Every structure is written in structure tokens, then in C-alpha cells.
Structure 1
Amino acid sequence: MNLADLLLEHPFADDEGLLHTVTTSTSAGEARARVRELAAELAIEPGQGVAVMLPNGPELVCTMAAVWAAGGVYVPVNPRLPRREVDAVVAETRPALLVTESGSTVLDGEPRRFDPGVAFVVWTSGTTGRPKPILHTHEAYLELLDRVLGPLRAGRTSDRPPTPNLIPVSMALNAGIYNALFGLRAGAALVLMDRFEPGAFAELVDRFQIRSTVLPPAAMSMLTDSDVDDLAPLRYVRSITAPLSPLQARRFAAKFEGVHVLNSYGQAEMGEVVGWTAADAKAHPEKVGAAGRPLPGVEIRVDADDHLWVKPPNAAVGLDERRDVDGFLDTGDLARVDDEGFVWIEGRASDLINRGGNKVFPDAVEEVLRLHPQIADAAVVGVPDERLGEVPVAFVVGEQVGDDELVAHCREHLVPYKVPVAVRWVDELPRSEVGKVLRRQLAATYQEGTP
């Protein structure tokens, strides 16, 4: 099955609204006609890439499906990227065409011919090095969607169409693509946001009676700190794109009473592999902050060094170097599994700070820093130390207080070896496109002596 069929063969009648924004609605018939029109216009050969640099909206969804209908490979490009990063994406993937709001442009050079079955290209987060392209196939991605949809379909008791799927993140990201295709595969309409804004989000939730949606941790923090005080009829929010701390989850759930925060775990290379069911959310409120339990068909193990290994039914192309002899993939993350099978992500193995043999997880220290009323955001990184090997240093955003006061605050909540040895105040933390803190940049600025 081609992923374009999720739109072209969507169960909605031609006159039913399928693709919505804050200000527009596109019917299923209009969307199908637009996909066929665009596919006929794309001058590509099978397996060639098409770079698409459009804002979130119906035209982007139709263009993505048109690329697949024409036999091409979708190469998403965020319109907000600086030109040099756009050039890097084009150089790496060598698409035949670039589609922007101004139209379609034939690119110079010999286009790359991707292997049969490749559907689209996404990128690793780039938190520990240069982002790398990941190739997803039509077949494997359909399995990924059905892996999550299966348990949900089994629990449905109504023949009514599901409520629309709200997409509050860029569709240049795997999270955006996944949630759009998830909605189409489920037979739902899509509601697309080009930029996240708390008031607009609350309006869309009310207008389309959204009961379940996805949000990045940064968007949850924006809502928690906003004037929005009601998200009815929203009942479930699943965290995506970046780690959600237990503190963020508790703050959001405390403000929006009755909304269950469902963490999850996955990677662009393999999709979601650990998550929550509604039944688990109701039965285990004390587990808020856990990633959930392995999804059907997914095997996991945690080795003696706390490294998380995952064996999903399918994964992206080209990951053989990360597999062991049993087919498990090294996630690069540290985790623990409790007695009831819930997985708790401790952080990236590359972020772990080894202070004289003592393990310091940056996330745990950052949680304590954010508890201070004048700290808006925080990141902790390890820097070299001649005696101890590494020591933790805190970078913080907020209203400045004395460094001694902040260190004393940490000492109230942490064992001594976890307390940062120094504090650096910054206007903002450097983040990747998906909102993950770029710790390597912070460590570099500290070693260079820059503020």
C-alpha cells in the first residue's frame, strides 16, 4: 500500500471536511482532486526525491501525498530553517525538485534515486552530532501506524468517525508526519496548526471537540504558564518530540484537571515503541512521568549499564550497525523498568555525567533547578575536571538570583555529588528543531569561557 492511499482512499465522502486550519476547511473531495492534480504536475521519475518547503496546512498535506502518488520520495524542509541548513538538506538528499509557496523548481545536479519502497526522509535530532537522514518505507510505516492503532481499534465501542486529529507541530518533523498519517489511517479529519499559540490551540480543541491530542513538552509549558484555564473536552495529551519531565507532567495535569498526560517513548528511526493506554492512565496515576509500557510486538531490555535496547517489528532503513545479534537496536538512552513493566527514561547515555565514579543524570538536576520560583528553564552538562573526570555545570534562564542561593537550593534536594559546581545565566537555551537542548553547544561555550 502506498501512503498516498491514506488520503486518496479516506472513508470520508467528497463533501465532508477533511483538512482544517484556524481559518479554512478543505473537503475530502477537494483534497483528493488536489493530490491528483499535483501528482500529474510533478516532473519526476520513480524513486526521485521532492523537497517540500511549505507551512503546515492543507496544501502541504496534499503535496506530500502527491509526491507518493507520483512514485517519489518526500523530503520535508522546514520553511523556518536558515538558508545554509536548507542547502545542507538538499545536498544530502539530492532531490529532483524543490516545492515552495512560489511553485516548483528543478534543482541542479543529478537527482538521487532512492531504493524502491522508500516513502520519505526525516532526520535524527542532532543533539549529539550532525543530524543524519533516516529513510522510512511505505510498508514499515504502515506497520508502525497499525502497531499503535491496533489496541485503540480493539477498544472502540462506536461506529462514529473518530474526532479530528490535531497537528500542533511542524510536518517537517517525523512527529508531524506521523500524527497526520495516524489521523488519516484512523479515518479522522486533520486540524493543522502552523505555529503553536495557547489561545488558538484552546479554540481549536473547543471547536472540533478534541478529546485526545499530542503536544511537545515546550507547548505544555506554554499552556501551563498561559491565561488559558480550560481545555474541555480534552481528556488525553500525549507527549512527543522531546523528553517530558515528571515535573512538567504534574504541573500540566494540576492546572488542567481531568486531562491525563500520557508520556511515550520512540525515535524517528523506529517510531513509538513504548506508550500508554487509556486504561493504564486511569489505573496508574502515580506513574505520571513514566514512558509507559512496550507496545504490542515490541521487545525491550535494559543491560547491566542501564542502556535501553529495543526490538521493534519494523524500523527505518540502514540501522544494521546499531543492531546486536538478536536484532535489538541500541537506542543510546538510559532507562529502568519497574516491577509493573513501566519504562522510565533516565536520559541520553551520552549526556550522563560521571563525577568521580558517581552517575549524575542531568534531567534529575534540571528538575530541581526548575523548582526554584525564579528559574524558567535549565540545562545541566558535564565539563572536564582534572581530579574527578567530569563535573556538572548548570545553565539557567530566569530572574537572576545569587549563585550561592541556587546551589543551596540544589543541596536541599540532591546528594552532594549531583550539585552543580558552577552556574551560568543565559537568555535562552540552544535547542534543536524538535525542542531538545543542544548540550554539546553549552559545554563548548563553557570550555571556551564565553557567557
Structure 2
Amino acid sequence: MAIVSRLLSTRAREQPDSPAFLAGADGRALTWREVAGHAARWRDVRPGSRVGLVIADPLVFTAAYLGCLSAGLTAAPIDPRLTATELSEVLTRLRVDVLATDHAEPVIRPETDTCEVDLAGPRLVWSATTTARPSDAAALRPAVLLTSSGTTGRPKGIPLTEWQLMHAAGRVARHHGFGPGERGYTPLPLFHVNAQVMGLLATVAGGGSLVIDRRFEAGEYWARVEKHSPTWLNAVPAVLASLANQPAPSSRVAERIRFARSASAPLPPETARAFTEHTGIGVLETYGMSEAAGQITANPLDPARRRRGSVGLPVELELIVGGPDGTPVATGAEGEVLLRGPQIVSGYLELDGAGPERVRPARTAEGWLRTGDVGVLDDAGFLRLAGRADDVINRGGEKIYPQEVENVLLAHPGVAAVAVVGAPHERLGQVPVAFVTSQQSDADALASALRDWCAERLTRYKRPTVIEVTDALPLGPTGKVLRRALRAELAGTQ
């Protein structure tokens, strides 16, 4: 019996009428008995199928996702906001056999079975007109097929086994102290690994409950928290920054919450400080990625042991900071973060949608996954991230990490959000340019003030040559800045 199927059966037997998952907006709930019952209905889907989950309703997505894992199918979560054209392209790239959706007018493709899905289960509304399945030539049949965020280039397929997913969920549950008395709240997109593993699967592993919203709504956030009484919050830096500027929750609400967990993007220290001072809720900073099925490092639960500006300690996996040859650098020196262990993905799928499906190795010959993240380990083993290796700006041989410059700019009271990227320069190769958002109306005055601010806090070569005040930054679904869009703008290709 599959791991998820076995766990759902256990939860249904031991906690049959306890709420497992609740919809934040309207309070609908699924008990553990109902979750297990829904999962059983997915066993009628043809074994081995790749199932594209294009589902907006958070409870329906949860039931379908767990059903696919329980039935031994491959779940391929897809952004439900895609247009019909975009969706068709994604279904082709992922070689999806079954489209499962709660859309009122589902996209019908001749080669793809289509199911309408709700809390009663999947119902076939279109049968493929050919006996061949899109995944017949699949190189792998993982439990979940994710794609990279694509913030720096074309997405690649990340195939994860059920063991890898549930091992990560167990690590999350143990580290965070999840159990039957715990309840989380997450408004993060369910088609990303954070909400899936740190939310859904960690709840299955720990036996608590989870409140789910389909999107973050700043004006409704604390009202829903008060209504559902969670003990922990699942957030990203963009959410924490927004909440620091909203009316604070009452002390009665805040005192029940053990921590707000931050992941998916770098957390500026100023954002963490502002959120905690404003709400009274401590931030537990972590670090994860899809290739590790989620969590890699996390700060300790004990607030006194947390280190602001650090993403914490490795959680049940091997981690080093290595040089160009992959050997560990000295303590306190910068290098690339490398991961190793059976919980780390071993190969990527090339998602071109044409020709035979190809797998390329994700690890080195020594078994290390190169994350592309630049970091530093201190003498206690805490990891600090400096930024992405491909985001580093080379200004005439001087290396500039955007995150350092961004943190300085974010400390200015007039700045709401910021992104620093490299702009082409004839003589120096690259120079740093800052894009900032603000609620101040006088953009020229703010830009001038920020130049003075940087002059006092950054050595000359790190200072942005241009500070552009803009209405908004291009963001991905989890709040990551799409730096490639900003670089393309600077290069004049947009």
C-alpha cells in the first residue's frame, strides 16, 4: 500500500470526524474520513496516468492531489489561471493523459481524457479518441511532476517520488512540532511545492489540520486567522511585507500563533523585523526548493536560537558550501550551496513536448545537487544566503550580490519593495540598477533620497547607477521577482 494511502487510512480510522482541511474563505471542511473516501475514488483512473490538476478550489485540489498520490498516479499540478492556449502548451510539455479540472468549461483535447472534479470525486466528461496515451513514451512515472519556477529561464521538469515527498513532509512535521492539536493557515498557491509539502503533506504526516485559501487577500487575512484559530502561518516574504502595513491582529489572536514560517524567496531582515514588531508574531525563516521536495534548512523553533538573516540549519540532509571544484570552502567563506541524499531529486526531465522524453542528471558524479544559490556557513552551521549565482552582477571584476543592495534599500522607510539587477555597460560589463516601489508620490525626490542613503551605507561600486521608481515589480506566483523580465527590459527586448 502506498505511503499516502496508508496514512489516510490511519487518520480516517483514528480521527474520522476531525476536520483535516478547511477552506479559509467559506469554512467548508473535509474530515479525515472524507479525505480518505475521496482518495479511494481515484483508483478508477487508468494506472500510471499523468494527471494534470487544473483546479482553483483549494479543497477540491487538496482532495484530488492526495487522491492521485494514494492511487499511485502522477500528479502534475498546473496553475489554474492559465489561458486555454497556455494550458494546452503545458499539457503537451508535461505529456498529460488526464486533465482533471473544476473549470466550468474545461479545455477538451482529443488525445486527453478530461474529468470534471469536485468533492464527490472525478467524473469523466471526455474520453481520448486514441488508444495511445501522451505519456506512453514517458521516461519516468513519478508521484508528482513539478516544474521549476522559470524565474531565470525555461522551466524544467522535477520528478519526485512518493518516498521523497513524504520524507520531506515528515521532516517538516518533526521540525515544526506538527501534531493533532496543531492547525496551519496557508494562502499560498497549491501548484507549488511549498504549499503541497509544507502544507498538505505535512498535515497528513502530523495529523493536524490546515486552513487553505486560494489566494492571499491582505484585507481579509487577519479576520480569517481569527475565525479559524491557526497555531502557525505559512507565508512568503511578500506576504509578510504586506501584512506589516495592514492593521495588526489583536494580541489574543497573535498569542495563539507559534510562528509565521517564511520560505520560497529570500527574506530581507528588515521585512522580518517590521512584521514581528507590528504583529507580535515571530518569523521562522527557512530555505527549500522543489529538487529537495521542499525544506532544506530551517531556524530552530526556540526564538532565542534563531538567527535573523540566516535560513537556519540543515534538516536531515547533507549540505556543504563548495567552491568551483565542489570541495567545501572554509567556514565563513562564500560558495555554492550543494545538497546530497536520497531525498534529493536525481534527474530532470526535459520539457520540450516533442520526441522521446529525456532525463538528464541533476547531481554530480559525487552525488551533489548544485543549487545555484550562493551561501555562507558560520561556525555553528547556520546558513546565510547571499543570492543566486546567476544573479551576481560583475562590475568590472567586482562581484555585487543584489540581495545585499536590496536589503539596504528596503531599510529606507519610503521603499515598499525592491529588485536589483545588472544592466549592460560598455566599459564595465555590468552595473547595478534598482527598481523600487513606494507609496510616496514624488518619485524624483525618493530616488534622490535613496542615492544619498546608498552613499552612506554601500561602498561605491555596489551603489545602483540608476534607481527607478516603478508602480510594481514583476512577480511569480510565490512572490519571487522575475529578474529575467527586468533584465530583458533593461536590454530593450520588451
Query: Shared topology, TM-score over 0.5?
Result: yes
Distance 1:49 1:59 in 2: 18
SS at structure 2 position matched to 1:448: coil
Q: 1:132 aligns with which of 156, 164, 167?
A: 156
Quickly say closer, same or farther: Cα 1:64–1:5, change in 2 above 3 A.
farther
Identity of aligned residues (%): 29
Give TM-score scaled by structure 2 length: 0.83
Q: What do the CA deviations read for 1:183-221 (whole angstroms, capped 9, x no partner)?
A: 111011221111212354323433443222210111111
SS at structure 1 position matched to 2:416: strand
Question: What is the letter of the counterpart of residue 118 of structure 1?
Answer: P
CA contact (8 A) 1:6 1:181 kept: no
Q: What do the CA deviations read for 1:70-121 (whole angstroms, capped 9, x no partner)?
A: 3321111121223333223201112111122241544677321456761111
Question: What is the letter of the counterpart of residue 335 of structure 2?
Answer: D
* Higher mean C-alpha displacement, 187-196 vs 306-315: 306-315
The alpha carbon displacement at 1:171 in A equals 1.1
Q: Specify the alignment match of 2:376 in structure 1.
A: 336
The alpha carbon displacement at 1:294 in A equals 1.1
Matched, 1:418 2:467: no
Any stretches of 5+ residues in structure 2 without a counterpart? 105-115, 117-123, 324-328, 349-359
Q: Specify the alignment match of 1:119 in structure 2.
A: 143
Quickly say closer, same or farther: Cα 1:201–1:10, change in 2 above 3 A.
farther
Q: 1:401 aligns with which of 438, 444, 461?
A: 444
The alpha carbon displacement at 1:56 in A equals 4.1
Distance 1:4 1:199 in 2: 38
Question: What is the letter of the counterpart of residue 247 of structure 2?
Answer: D
Give TM-score scaled by structure 1 length: 0.90
CA contact (8 A) 2:183 2:232 kept: no
The alpha carbon displacement at 1:385 in A equals 1.5
CA contact (8 A) 2:69 2:162 kept: no
* Higher mean C-alpha displacement, 290-299 vs 129-138: 290-299
Q: Specify the alignment match of 1:144 in structure 2.
A: 168
The alpha carbon displacement at 1:417 in A equals 0.6
What does 1:123-202 align with in structure 2 at a 5 Å threshold? 123-151=147-175, 161-178=180-197, 179-202=199-222
Question: What is the letter of the counterpart of residue 13 of structure 1?
Answer: Q
Q: Specify the alignment match of 2:8 in structure 1.
A: 7
Distance 1:343 1:173 in 2: 24
Quickly say closer, same or farther: Cα 1:198–1:425, change in 2 above 3 A.
closer
Question: What is the letter of the counterpart of residue 399 of structure 2?
Answer: K
Distance 2:82 2:94 in 1: 16
Quickly say closer, same or farther: Cα 1:283–1:66, change in 2 above 3 A.
closer
The alpha carbon displacement at 1:152 in A equals 5.2
SS at structure 1 position matched to 2:489: helix
SS at structure 1 position matched to 2:76: strand
Distance 1:107 1:357 in 2: 57
Distance 1:133 1:301 in 2: 25
The alpha carbon displacement at 1:13 in A equals 3.0
The alpha carbon displacement at 1:352 in A equals 0.5
Q: 1:263 aligns with which of 272, 278, 285?
A: 285
Any stretches of 5+ residues in structure 1 without a counterpart? none
* Higher mean C-alpha displacement, 49-58 vs 79-88: 79-88
Question: What is the letter of the counterpart of residue 314 of structure 1?
Answer: Q
The alpha carbon displacement at 1:374 in A equals 2.6
SS at structure 2 position matched to 1:30: helix
Question: What is the letter of the counterpart of residue 357 of structure 1?
Answer: G
Distance 1:247 1:264 in 2: 16
The alpha carbon displacement at 1:427 in A equals 1.8
Distance 1:232 1:206 in 2: 11
Q: Specify the alignment match of 2:37 in structure 1.
A: 33
CA contact (8 A) 2:345 2:362 kept: no
Distance 1:322 1:99 in 2: 29
Question: What is the letter of the counterpart of residue 27 of structure 1?
Answer: T
Q: Specify the alignment match of 1:311 in structure 2.
A: 340
Question: What is the letter of the counterpart of residue 265 of structure 1?
Answer: Y
Q: Specify the alignment match of 2:355 in structure 1.
A: none
Distance 1:4 1:242 in 2: 32
CA contact (8 A) 2:317 2:339 kept: no
Q: Specify the alignment match of 1:75 in structure 2.
A: 76
Distance 2:465 2:129 in 1: 52
Quickly say closer, same or farther: Cα 1:449–1:309, change in 2 above 3 A.
closer
Q: Specify the alignment match of 2:351 in structure 1.
A: none
Distance 1:127 1:106 in 2: 35
